[in-house]
Amino acid sequence: MSVYLGIDLGTTGLKALLVREDGRVCGAGYRQYPISIPVTGYAQQDPKDWWRALRESIAEALDGSGVQPSDL
């Protein structure tokens, strides 16, 4: 059975979700990252934080799910 990986890159955090073909959720992960507001009306983020959050949230979703990366 295939497992799908959903990724949501939001304003303050990244979510990863593992879902089986039948719709059952089998794993989830979430990591926050900072947002810098140097002056009013400006917001900045470091893409390295997005990358770190992606790797860590996927690892969290896989941990204990019984899903192998090759199943995705």
d(CA 67, CA 34): 30
| Short-list 16, 11, 24, CA closest to 56 | 16
**16: β partners:** 7, 29
Question: What confidence score (pLDDT) does residue 64 get?
Answer: 85
Element (H, E) at 32: strand 25-32
Q: Are strands 13-20 and 3-9 parallel, antiparallel or unpaired?
A: antiparallel
pLDDT tens for each residue of 1-20: 789 999 999 999 999 999 99
Contact 43, 35 (CB under 8 A): yes
pLDDT tens for each residue of 29-70: 999 999 999 999 999 999 999 999 999 999 999 998 989 888
